[in-house]
Amino acid sequence: MEWIVAPAVKAGDRVAIIAPASPVSVDLLEAGIAVLRSWDLVPVVHPQVWSKQGYLAGSDEERADALVGVLDDPSIAAVVCAQGGYGCTRLLELLPISRIGAHNLPSKRFFGFSDITALHSLMRVAVPGYVSFYAPMLATSYFAKSTELSRESLRLSMFAPNLQSACPPLKGRCLQMGRARSTNGVVSGRLVGGNLTVFTNCLATPWQEDMERCILILEDGLLSFILALHQFSLQ
């Protein structure tokens, strides 16, 4: 399969911000926007970001239209999700695969994690080989007010000219004390996965991406190996 990697972001580029899941914290988002500006980027906050409908950042239609709108805007170089939470799986039936594939997705880098897993799967089904980035989001405390590692991770993913420099080796870095370990050996393959709950909910649906000869990476707040096996066995 041929990889489709959108051009790297450069100083002066317009970067769209959407909220396809839960409502955002205004303070955290403004702090995240300030980080983008410090990188000489031009944040473009879609009006939908400020919407709120219960536990969602606006109606399903609003959030789906926001995604399509920024993908269809030729002036936008990249799309960054403000935060996750809940709601992206509700958008899948409103975003036909052909509709996403027909837009300018291959020309833009897309960033987000957690609930955004559903959109990553959708995009890679719509455009086989498209590389999206499971990366930090702006309106999260880790990014806006905490670790420099989170900011550097997003910056590299945005500005790096190729995948090797966008995703540097993790050798020698502890991902989570006492829970991450490395073993000898080398494997290669496409990286798929994301949030355990969202990813398993996409299995056996039109939005399940090709998993043949892949490397599966999962995250979840209460993830355990036994739980992961149970989730997959249910599917």
What domains appear along the chain, each with residue ranges and CATH number? 14-162 (3.40.50.10740)
Q: Where are the alpha helices (DSSP H) in 43-144?
A: 60-71, 97-101, 117-126, 141-144
pLDDT given for residue 223 in this prediction: 54
Residue 218 CA from chain centroid, whole number = 13
Smallest CA-to-CA distance from 197 within 155, 168, 230 is with: 230
Burial group, residue 81, by CB count within 10 angstroms (0-12, 13-18, 19+): buried
pLDDT given for residue 172 in this prediction: 54
In sequence order, the 6+-apart residues with CB closer than 8 A to the CB of 101 are 126, 127
Q: Which amino acid is at 159?
A: F
pLDDT given for residue 73 in this prediction: 94
pLDDT in tens, the chain (235 residues): 788 999 999 999 999 999 999 999 999 999 999 999 999 999 999 999 999 999 999 999 999 999 999 999 999 999 999 999 999 999 999 998 887 876 788 999 999 999 999 999 999 999 999 999 999 999 998 787 767 888 999 999 999 998 877 876 665 555 554 555 666 777 788 888 899 889 988 988 999 888 888 888 888 766 555 565 555 555 5
For residues 38 and 227, the answer to whether their CB atoms sit within 8 Å is no
pLDDT given for residue 200 in this prediction: 87
Instruction: Specify which residues 22 forms β-bridges with.
Output: none
Which structure tokens are listed for 212? Answer: 């043949």
Region for residue 89 given its phi and psi (left: phi exceeds 0; alpha: psi -120 to 50; beta: otherwise): alpha
d(CA 201, CA 157): 27
d(CA 208, CA 211): 8
Distances (CA, A) of 116 to 2, 12, 46, 87, 197: 24, 26, 17, 9, 11
Instruction: Specify which residues 81 forms β-bridges with.
Output: 18
Q: How many CB atoms are closer than 10 A to CB 6?
A: 19
pLDDT given for residue 179 in this prediction: 57
For residues 95 and 68, the answer to whether their CB atoms sit within 8 Å is yes
For residues 56 and 66, the answer to whether their CB atoms sit within 8 Å is no
